[in-house]
Amino acid sequence: MSSVEHATRRAWLVWTTAVVVYVAAVFHRSSLGVASLQAGERFGVGSAALGTFTVLQVGVYAAMQVPTGILVDRFGPRRVLVVATVFMGLGQLLFALAHSYPLGLAARAVVGLGDAMTFVSVLRLVAAHFPARQYAVVVSLTAALGALGNLAATVPLTLLLGSVGWTLTFLVAGGLTAAYAVVAGLRVRDLPAGAPAARVEPVSLPTVLRRVTAAWRVPGTRLGFWVHFSTMFAPTVLGLLWGFPYLVQAQGLTEQEASAMLSVLVLGAMIGGPVLGTITGRRPELRMPLVGAYLLVALGTWAVLLGWPGRLSAPALAVAFTLLSLGGPASSIGFALARDYNPLQRVGTATGVVNVGGFVATTVSALGVGVLLDALGAAGAATAFRIALLVVVAVLVVGVWRTCVWWRRARAAVFAAAARGEDVPVQLRPRRWDTPVEQPVRPVPVAA
């Protein structure tokens, strides 16, 4: 964490410059959401192949989380952020010109690579340029502003695609992003003026593997992984790919109405994030009960979406999407758990491990929905989506089950640490279901 005492004007300039890159990353990540129907026509592919776009992009993002942290440690956030901006711009330029399916896949992979290197770089810049007491506030503000990119990828992108077409829309988006790399390179600085440069030695592969293994063995890290897995993926799958065709083809909304409905996912997360963050910051013992409440609500919401006979009204869809949108804010609890359960020198690695959870769930469910839609091609759109989206429910059920298992084990670790006289960030009250778990408990500071 930074040792600076107060944020300077230069710090805010560096942060503002970096946040623009993050907003662009969220836009590029989400841009296929409202363009999915056009993408199917342009590349001449079915639902399963269309789902592969998201699977590939999200898979690259997930695979790059730990390597990105190593790159930032080794070369500094400024260089990594500039390279990320170039990759996103070039990937979107290639996507604008691609007419073949393999070339389109390659383009989204490049976009995903640049996207994966952005957020970690921005967080490192925040840690270096702002005092510790401001870190959480600036990070929350960063995430909230990033949602602007998601908003731009709903109604505005739909209007652009409808007016100027696919090629020009993505050429402009890619060109502006690639050009912004020059601005980022000139304005961003790894450290505040006068701060001594840290000596960083290359990190060997065995060391990385040992850190990841050690983090994964901690019950709290595993709990954070499954919290992120079960809360983050459903709104992501809807926003990145399947929400738009579901609303248009199965629910009968126009393209403009569907894109407006997708913006509900963004607005819900933007409002719910600060509210949930304030509650859990003041009452950390409520973190897991809030996760449990969201998971129950999510199961009920999917039961209504998939079980309701006929089409739902627009207000009902808006309520359902608002409730599901809270999964994004709830997923941040997984990162708080990783921080509390791991020693400081391993928090970054544990955070990367947790971050993989939601993207694994997104990958599995996005591909599964596409495969089932292709298999059910002869069925009506409403029936096909009702069956195909059961994949999302199945993944959610798995996530709920594993979250419950590791919640119980993490609580056991809390009680064991308290019994040894160690300080624990959260004091828990034993419940009847808090029976001993047959698992070695490591003596680490923990919270649940």
DSSP state of 252: -
- Highest mean predicted confidence (pLDDT) among 123-132, 142-151, 156-165, 204-213: 156-165
**Cα–Cα separations (whole angstroms), residue 212 to 209, 313, 352:** 5, 47, 9
Q: What gap in Å lies between CA 230 and CA 234, rounded to an integer?
A: 8
Determine the pLDDT at residue 134: 66
* Assigned CATH class of 214-437: mainly alpha
Give residue 417's pLDDT: 65
Q: Which pair of structure tokens corresponds to residue 215?
A: 């983090």
Q: Where on the phi/psi map is residue 76: left (φ > 0), alpha (ψ -120 to 50), or beta? A: left
Are 396 and 389 in contact, with CB atoms under 8 Å apart?
no
Residues of the chain with CATH 1.20.1250.20: 6-191, 214-437
Single out the residue of 123, 124, 137, 154 nearest to residue 26, CA to CA. Answer: 154
Confidence check: pLDDT of 194 > 70: no
Q: What is the mean pLDDT of the chain?
A: 83
pLDDT of 340 reads 77
Report whether pLDDT(245) > 70: yes
pLDDT of residue 1: 47
Q: How far is CA 424 from CA 284, 349, 369, 448, in A?
A: 12, 21, 42, 10
Average pLDDT over residues 161-190: 92
CA 198 to chain centre: 30
DSSP states of 141-184 as a string? HHHHHHHHHHHHTTHHHHHHHHHT-HHHHHHHHHHHHHHHHHHH
The tens digit of pLDDT for each residue in 82-109 reads: 999 999 999 999 999 999 999 999 999 9
Q: Give the residue-averaged pLDDT of 207-221.
A: 84
Which of the listed ranges 134-138, 358-362, 442-446 does the model predict with the highest average pLDDT? 358-362
Asked which of 150-164, 224-238, 243-257 is least confident by mean pLDDT, the reply is 150-164
What three-state secondary structure class fits 130?
coil
Separation between Cα atoms, residue 260 and residue 139, nearest integer Å: 27
Instruction: Using the predicted structure, report yes or no on whether residue 296 has a pLDDT greater than 70.
Output: yes
Overall residue count recorded for the chain in this entry: 448
* H or E segment to which residue 291 belongs: helix 287-307
pLDDT confidence tier of residue 203, bands split at 50, 70 and 90: low
For the chain, what is the radius of gyration of the CA atoms?
22
Q: How far apart are CA 271 and CA 68, in angstroms?
A: 29
The share of the chain scoring above pLDDT 70, in percent, equals 85
Half-sphere exposure of 54 (CA within 13 A, CB side): 34
Which pLDDT belongs to residue 297? 96
What are the residues whose beta carbons fall under 8 Å from the beta carbon of 207, sequence distance 6 or more?
none
Is pLDDT of 447 > 60?
Answer: no
159 — pLDDT class (breaks 50, 70, 90): confident
pLDDT tens figures, 341-390: 777 567 667 777 888 888 889 889 988 998 898 888 755 678 889 999 99
Choose among 388, 334, 387, 392: nearest CA to 362.
392
Assign 3-state DSSP to the chain and report helix, strand, coil percentages, each to 5.
80, 0, 20
Return the amino acid letter for 361: A
Alpha helices in 164-286 (DSSP H): 166-187, 205-217, 219-237, 243-245, 255-282
Nearest-CA neighbor of 330 among 219, 227, 221? 227
What's the rounded mean pLDDT across residues 182-186? 94
pLDDT tens for each residue of 314-331: 999 999 999 999 998 888
Q: What is the pLDDT of residue 441?
A: 43
**CA torsion, ordered 297, 298, 303, 308, to nearest 10 deg:** 90
Q: Which is it for the CA torsion 405, 410, 416, 418, positive or negative?
A: negative
Q: Is 254 helix (H, G, I), strand (E, B) or coil?
A: coil
Which residue stretches of 98-131 are H helix? 101-116, 118-129
Burial class (CB in 10 A: 0-12, 13-18, 19+), 315: exposed
CATH superfamily of 6-191: MFS general substrate transporter like domains (1.20.1250.20)
Query: What gap in Å lies between CA 146 and CA 404, rounded to an integer?
Result: 31
pLDDT in tens, 6-65: 778 888 999 999 999 999 998 998 888 778 778 888 888 887 787 788 778 888 888 887
Confidence grade of residue 74 (pLDDT, cut at 50, 70, 90): confident
Whether residue 74 contacts residue 203, with contact meaning beta carbons closer than 8 Å, is answered with: yes
Which DSSP string corresponds to 65-91?
Answer: HHHHHHHHHHH-HHHHHHHHHHHHHHH
pTM, two decimal places = 0.77
Q: Flag whether pLDDT at 438 surpasses 60.
A: no
**What was the pLDDT predicted at 444?**
46
Which residue's structure tokens are 């926003």? 239
